[in-house]
Chain A
């Protein structure tokens, strides 16, 4: 039986078991993608470069959710909270402390890692819908916490903070947008490689064992509590870096930018990209950035309905997201080669 059929005929489990080798792209495809991502901004306007930067930023956030859900089988509607913490960490360090933008990112990641790791502790006892509710609570609480009077000196309260956009270093003759795009691209690729290797490592196998069967995993000697919280931490850390990059790209952070809507978008991005398939994250990110605009373009009054219909069409055609498309394509290429 081919890989495609296998994936389709599987009984619906909580999160599907994605085999490890199916998590990534082949070397050839990866290089073509990379070349495209490097070359594309040379031919387009600044606004589109900005959109492409956001594409990478949301791609990272979707990737982070993918590690958590596709990797370790835990569901989260709270990613917007981690994104917000990352964005605010970067913004505060840049504006109040005067730190270099590039240096704020690892700190944002670290802060979010710790935050996610700690949040993972109580979340350990919960799974499925209950975990969804807990993370959902986090997502609804975060904008309110950021608005609180106590932190207003640092966070700027409801007004938020304005972030300065960095210039290209060493007097390179490229625009701020383009510099930021390439900077984001480098960070994204680094994190992508890290994630792929993480999932291929001993820890990644532990994540997947927990995803597929928690009890069996613990019987094999996997420290379930440790790896589940670790997955939360890593996911939150990556989301935090994405948040920091997003804050720099948008040049602005405000509590209302990080509501539950963002968390839901990221979730949709993961489903459209294919749960557990890391390269799909970028496809999912493209979906959540461009499809709402397209829907708005088709009908102003009914944009929500158009968006819903497009989403339905996508999940009817490819219930397993972009991963399914990739598998079919791989299958076809394989057939051609055999001939």
Chain B
């Protein structure tokens, strides 16, 4: 039993990473209705910016806030420059655009900061949390940040005018335009927010996986899985999905014999698909209602 509890705890700790990423993915999905394959690379790039700022002598939180602002601006810029012209193009063309963006960011980051692994500082310290060897204070801090972020987002979407406008623009663009909402800018805002949340995810994850241009690849896959599992329409679901995927992954590795690191991912994904077959819109997603 103790093994089980410990593995669940360790799962929650890694799950916090996925939850962070999944939250960013759901944000952009809410705004633009697509999964952004370049999300992980955008987060990686933001993290590198914060690292560079710290190298130039900024204190951690100073770099943190500045990176957040830069990422927000960067997200909006990417939308305005690259994806607004594609707004009328078919969805699959947009997806190809995400793949192109992925390749560009990854390659440019590799050129500027090269592919060596870099240490990244944590603001929470890395001693054991409450005497447990499995969760460090950093991981506890990361869980705290994720939950805080979730609450802030909830407040933003429920109780501010901009949040309401964004929700309206995402669910019924036509009617939203008729009541005077600038839907095009709401999409840009969604990109900005997704980039900013992604940068937080990146800065929280970097101390665990270390900083390098390919650091987000694995995280992104699990993040997608988490977002889809929780239901793409629900930020709350995304966070729960993240923790569940983390726990799944750890339990699969412990209890199913012969599963090395190699098979963890396929089995975790297979489990998620099994869940999806039973609940096609994810655990907390709204069921999709179609009109003929």
A residues lining the B interface (CB < 8 Å): 8, 12-16, 69, 75, 122, 125-127, 129-130, 132-134, 136-137, 140-141, 144-145, 147, 213-216, 219, 264, 267-268, 270-272, 275, 301-309, 311-312, 315-316, 319-321
Is A309 touching B90 in the complex (CB atoms < 8 A)?
no
Residues of chain A with a CB closer than 8 A to B108's CB:
302, 305
Interface digits, B251-292 against A, CB 8 Å rule (1 contact, 0 not)? Answer: 000000000001101100110110011001110000000101
Is A132 touching B96 in the complex (CB atoms < 8 A)?
no
Instruction: Identify the closest chain A residue to B96 (Cβ).
Output: A271
Q: How far is the CA of A147 from the CA of B258 in the complex (A)?
A: 13
Looking at the assembled complex, report how far the CB atom of A20 sits from the nearest CB atom of chain B, in whole angstroms: 18
The answer, among B35, B101, B272, for a CB contact under 8 Å with A129, is B35
Is B89 touching A315 in the complex (CB atoms < 8 A)?
yes
Q: B236 in the interface, Cβ–Cβ < 8 Å?
A: no
The 7 closest A-B pairs by CB, nearest first: A304-B107, A141-B266, A137-B269, A319-B89, A308-B104, A308-B103, A311-B100
Is B97 touching A315 in the complex (CB atoms < 8 A)?
yes
Is A125 touching B280 in the complex (CB atoms < 8 A)?
yes
The answer, among A268, A302, A303, A312, for a CB contact under 8 Å with B82, is A312
Q: How far is the CA of A245 from the CA of B19 in the complex (A)?
A: 43
Residues of chain A with a CB closer than 8 A to B95's CB:
267, 271
Range of interface residues on B (Cβ < 8 Å): 35 or more
- Given known A309-B104, A316-B86, contact A268–B96 (CB-CB < 8 A): yes
- Given known A137-B269, A271-B93, A319-B89, contact A216–B292 (CB-CB < 8 A): yes
Looking at the assembled complex, report how far the CB atom of A177 sits from the nearest CB atom of chain B, in whole angstroms: 31
The answer, among B89, B90, B104, B292, for a CB contact under 8 Å with A219, is B292
Residues of chain A with a CB closer than 8 A to B85's CB:
316
Instruction: Identify the closest chain A residue to B232 (Cβ).
Output: A129
Residues of chain B with a CB closer than 8 A to A302's CB:
107-108, 111
Q: B225 in the interface, Cβ–Cβ < 8 Å?
A: yes
Instruction: Identify the closest chain A residue to B260 (Cβ).
Output: A144
The answer, among B89, B97, B107, B270, for a CB contact under 8 Å with A303, is B107
Residues of chain A with a CB closer than 8 A to B111's CB:
301-302, 305
- Given known A126-B277, A144-B263, A304-B103, contact A12–B91 (CB-CB < 8 A): yes
Q: B53 in the interface, Cβ–Cβ < 8 Å?
A: no
Q: How far is the CA of A259 from the CA of B269 in the complex (A)?
A: 16
Residues of chain A with a CB closer than 8 A to B266's CB:
137, 140-141, 144-145
- Given known A12-B91, A312-B100, A315-B97, contact A133–B106 (CB-CB < 8 A): no
Q: Considering residues A125, A213, A271, which has the most beta carbons from chain B within 10 angstroms of its beta carbon?
A: A271
- 25 A-B residue pairs with CB within 8 Å: A8-B88, A12-B88, A15-B90, A126-B273, A126-B277, A129-B35, A130-B280, A133-B276, A134-B276, A140-B221, A140-B265, A140-B269, A141-B266, A147-B262, A216-B292, A219-B292, A268-B99, A271-B96, A305-B104, A308-B102, A308-B103, A312-B97, A315-B100, A319-B86, A319-B93
Q: B1 in the interface, Cβ–Cβ < 8 Å?
A: no
Instruction: Identify the closest chain A residue to B265 (Cβ).
Output: A140
Give 6 A-B pairs besides A122-B277, A130-B276, A214-B290 with Cβ atoms closer than 8 angstroms: A12-B89, A133-B225, A133-B273, A133-B276, A144-B266, A304-B103
Q: B224 in the interface, Cβ–Cβ < 8 Å?
A: yes
Interface digits, B34-47 against A, CB 8 Å rule (1 contact, 0 not)? Answer: 01000000000000
Residues of chain B with a CB closer than 8 A to A316's CB:
85-86
Looking at the assembled complex, report how far the CB atom of B10 sits from the nearest CB atom of chain A, in whole angstroms: 22
Q: How far is the CA of A145 from the CA of B263 in the complex (A)?
A: 8
Q: How far is the CA of A312 from the CA of B110 in the complex (A)?
A: 20
Looking at the assembled complex, report how far the CB atom of B107 sits from the nearest CB atom of chain A, in whole angstroms: 3
Is B228 touching A275 in the complex (CB atoms < 8 A)?
no
Looking at the assembled complex, report how far the CB atom of A151 sits from the nearest CB atom of chain B, in whole angstroms: 14
Q: B92 in the interface, Cβ–Cβ < 8 Å?
A: yes
The answer, among A130, A267, A275, for a CB contact under 8 Å with B90, is A275
Is B92 touching A15 in the complex (CB atoms < 8 A)?
yes
Residues of chain B with a CB closer than 8 A to A127's CB:
280
Is A134 touching B273 in the complex (CB atoms < 8 A)?
yes
Residues of chain A with a CB closer than 8 A to B280's CB:
125-127, 130
Instruction: Identify the closest chain B residue to A305 (Cβ).
Output: B107
Is B93 touching A315 in the complex (CB atoms < 8 A)?
yes
Q: How far is the CA of A271 from the CA of B92 in the complex (A)?
A: 7
Residues of chain A with a CB closer than 8 A to B224's CB:
133, 136
Q: How far is the CA of A15 from the CA of B103 in the complex (A)?
A: 24
